[in-house]
Amino acid sequence: MSEIPESFPRVELGHWPTPLERCDRLSEELGGPRIWIKRDDCTGLAAGGNKTRKLEYLLGRAVAEGHRTVVTYGAVQSNHARQTAAACARLGLRCELLLTRSVPRSDELYETSGNVLLDELLGARVRIVDDADQIARALEEIGPAYQIPPGGSDEIGALGYVRAAAELAEQAARLSVRFDRIVVAASTAGTAAGLCVGAALAGLEARLEAIAVYEPADRTRERIEELVAATSRLLGADPPAGGREVHGDWLGPGYGIPTEEMVEAVRLLARTEGIVLDPVYTGKAAAGLLGLIRSGRLSGDENVLFWHTGGLPGLFVHPDVFTGRGVRSA
């Protein structure tokens, strides 16, 4: 399945392959196209999510190099931090999380529930830091450690999604389906970049439609292209040319800030397919999916794959957003 040499160490952490399902009721509601969903919310590690694939290679290297302590970074409600904490618990590693207030919220619910609750339950040490000086002091106190970038998004982490593209190619072949588009959330870019490289290696011709949820489209595009190049170099392959686009229309006021389009998309997936999205990543990516369909940019005769990257715990720090009382003010 994998185009990745065995010289890259990997620890198996997830449930593979994740399900590939048709969304017939959603397709009917929207009047086409044929929508499928790749369920990386079902990776099996502490509520699942896309970071598990990246962590198999990142922590594979950490274990191979003999590290006992892992440090990573993220927003307060980081899904990546939660999955890193779970993976470290599985592997018997000490986990240190340095979380920043990247969203304009600091209330008790936001900083103690959702992913933060799970971080602590999983045994990670959580520190909320506000600036570079606090990060530097924390790192000095922690001492020697294997450091993982935000989102696990470097060329090593992207290998998880090179492998995921090969997994998808096998599933598509068994089902005799050819995907025309893959719609996925893009933040720190490791998932999108890995899929671009992996799709080319696996012979998938689907065009990648990346929905920016962290930074504007131009910066997200730069991040993806940088990681596509770095991941291709790592594998000794030529970077794939074209076949991808980044859309910034559904970011809204900023990262982690709810939008009406996101709320509609989360409700629609829940009520047509029984699938729960999150408000930060998959909710906005699904809003992008709906927007591309309704604007005619995705035609009714296409097979469109929505890649569910997880994030369920983040839903629980936004109860007001989904109770009909409107979107929380930033």
What is the set of active-site residues? 78
Whole-number Å distance between alpha carbons of 80 and 70: 13
Start-to-end CA distance of the chain, whole Å, equals 45
Joined together, the tokens standing for residue 88 give: 């470290």
What's the residue count for the chain? 330
Quickly tell me which residue has 């992008």 as its tokens.
288
**What contacts 180, CB < 8 A, 6 or more positions away?**
33, 206, 207, 302, 303, 304
Tell me, what amino acid is at 32? G
Residue 17's DSSP bridge partners are none
Distances (CA, A) of 329 to 100, 212, 316, 320: 20, 21, 17, 10
**What contacts 221, CB < 8 A, 6 or more positions away?**
246
Quickly tell me which residue has 């990257």 as its tokens.
309
Whole-number Å distance between alpha carbons of 165 and 68: 31
CB contact at 8 A, 73 and 96? no
CB contact at 8 A, 297 and 102? no
CA R_g for the chain? 19
181 three-state secondary structure: strand
